[in-house]
């Protein structure tokens, strides 16, 4: 499981800890300095928990695949941690035992769902206006970027990061606001909306995995720009309503390299990891992806993350050649592709984040009542928080909120549960109408 495995017995050593973490102090009597000694231990740590003063003993990929100067080094600067966070999932690290114990407690809380990374700082009705503005601002950026590329103009990406930061702030306050907005989809605007939805889910996924705020902005930027190269693909290929032939598929696959080159030629500086993700988000662990046929640990951490979110949104969206599949079907497909195609630890974490019934879903309860999913529980994927909107006879009723994780009883004394998911607009219940209603509260 993500955030939870140890790698056998710890290697122990007794040595002096780095000066910046255990500062030598003057004794009251003689004014002499002494450095406290503490037992060091080695642990396999997710990269989000690395800090200055720790020694990096071994990464999860060859040292030559990571842009660092030294091997087995003590972290002395946050920029070193940033590089490791971008390219690695975990490293074998060495630190004082007390430091490792505190980190392991945080990891266990995330693994079991005891820690809720989506704690709501604002109510849904309070956050929706800001989320709507963020969503609209990013869509305006996508539209203007599309026009610039169509006219052969250079793309200025300086405004992209502040827009992504708006999404980060909204997700920190209440992720369900952008989750709801992302579920209202237009088949005609798939390419543009897809990039924004991938950015939203990537930021949320990064937060779920306890990424730093800096990395949330970077991963959001990766999501927003990952399919930029599709703007160079002919529309008759991009919008073909049937299966692509081999030549058309080859042309379609070139979008990854097109996007990479476009970002390289941008007048604005683009982080290296965004370039990497744009080129490699279609690589697969077994080497069957494109454009470079990378395998396993050759694929960066952020490219692995975007690959999962990209496929999830594609499966759950209406396309010109097929209708949208349900979230549960998308989860099944991703789960079956773990190990071979997708990072298995990330897949398990993504399933915990999304849940079986994502926020904004319409569901029928075991009582026959119809409800909108308000939020999910990482530790209780089958028991979301819902708002009942229709009675058993499928007519409007007095609305009420239920947290199914608490096993509330129905009129017969049985615990409420979800019977099935429903498509948007079932029984006249529209998510867009619900968004308008909640935002007006």
pTM (two decimals):
0.82
Burial 65-99 (b: 16+ CB within 10 A, else e): ebeeeeeeeebeeeebbbebbbbbbbbbbbbbeeb
- pLDDT digits 0-9 by tens, 96-114: 999 999 988 887 876 665 5
Q: What is the pLDDT of residues 312-364, one digit of tens each?
A: 999 999 887 788 888 889 999 999 999 999 999 999 989 888 888 999 999 99
> What mean pLDDT, rounded, does the chain reach?
86
CA gap 123, 88 in Å, rounded: 35
Secondary structure class of 441 (helix, strand, coil): coil
pLDDT bracket for residue 210 (50, 70, 90): confident
The pair phi, psi for residue 374, each rounded to 5°, is -90, -30
**For 163-216, what is the HEC assignment?**
HHHHHHHHHHHCHHHHHHHHHCCCHHHHHHHHHHHHHHHHHHHHHHCCCCHHHH
What is the torsion angle, in degrees rounded to the nearest 10, for the CA atoms of residue 58, residue 62, residue 65 and residue 67?
30
pLDDT of residue 302: 96
* pLDDT at residue 3 greater than cutoff 50: no
Query: Where does the pLDDT of residue 376 fall: very low under 50, low under 70, confident under 90, or very high at 90 and above?
Result: confident
Does the pLDDT value for residue 304 go beyond 60?
yes
Q: What is the pLDDT of residue 11?
A: 39
Asked if 25 and 46 count as a contact pair (C-beta separation under 8 A), the reply is no
DSSP-based three-state secondary structure for 94: strand
Question: Which region among 16-20, 40-44, 142-146, 163-167 has the lowest average model confidence (pLDDT)?
Answer: 16-20
């Amino acid at each position: 499981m993500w955030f939870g495995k140890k790698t056998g017995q710890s290697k122990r050593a007794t040595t002096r800890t780095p000066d910046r973490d255990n500062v030598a102090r003057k004794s009251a009597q003689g004014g002499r300095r002494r450095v406290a000694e503490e037992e060091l231990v080695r642990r396999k740590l997710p990269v989000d928990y690395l800090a200055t003063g720790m020694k990096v003993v071994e990464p999860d990929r060859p040292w030559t695949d990571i842009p660092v100067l030294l091997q087995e080094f003590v972290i002395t600067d946050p920029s070193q941690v940033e590089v490791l966070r971008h390219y690695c999932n975990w490293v074998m690290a060495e630190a004082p035992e007390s430091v490792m114990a505190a980190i392991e407690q945080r990891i266990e809380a995330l693994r079991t769902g005891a820690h809720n990374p989506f704690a709501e700082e604002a109510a849904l009705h309070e956050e929706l206006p800001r989320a709507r503005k963020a969503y609209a601002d990013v869509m305006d950026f996508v539209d203007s970027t599309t026009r610039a590329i169509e006219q052969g103009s250079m793309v200025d990406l300086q405004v992209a990061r502040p827009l992504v930061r708006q999404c980060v702030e909204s997700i920190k306050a209440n992720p369900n606001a952008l989750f709801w907005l992302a579920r209202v989809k237009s088949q005609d605007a798939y390419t543009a909306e897809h990039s924004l939805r991938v950015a939203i889910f990537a930021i949320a996924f990064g937060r779920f995995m306890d990424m730093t705020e800096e990395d949330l902005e970077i991963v959001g930027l990766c999501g927003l720009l990952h399919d930029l190269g599709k703007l160079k693909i002919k529309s008759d290929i991009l919008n073909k309503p049937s299966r692509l032939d081999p030549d058309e598929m080859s042309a379609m696959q070139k979008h990854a390299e097109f996007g990479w080159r476009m970002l390289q030629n941008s007048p604005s500086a683009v982080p290296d990891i965004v370039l990497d993700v744009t080129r490699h988000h279609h690589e697969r662990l077994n080497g069957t992806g494109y454009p470079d046929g990378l395998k396993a640990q050759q694929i960066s951490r952020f490219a692995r993350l975007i690959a999962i979110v990209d496929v999830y949104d594609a499966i759950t969206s209406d396309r010109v050649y097929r209708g949208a599949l349900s979230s549960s079907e998308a989860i099944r497909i991703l789960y079956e592709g773990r190990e071979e195609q997708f990072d298995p630890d990330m897949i398990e974490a993504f399933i915990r984040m999304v849940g079986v019934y994502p926020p904004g879903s319409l569901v029928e309860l075991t009582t026959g009542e119809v409800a909108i999913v308000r939020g999910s529980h990482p530790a209780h994927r089958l028991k979301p928080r819902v708002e009942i909107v229709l009675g058993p006879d499928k007519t409007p009723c007095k609305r009420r909120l239920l947290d199914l994780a608490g096993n509330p009883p129905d009129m017969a004394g049985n615990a409420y549960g979800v019977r099935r998911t429903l498509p948007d607009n079932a029984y006249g219940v529209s998510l867009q109408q619900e968004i308008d209603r909640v935002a007006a509260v």
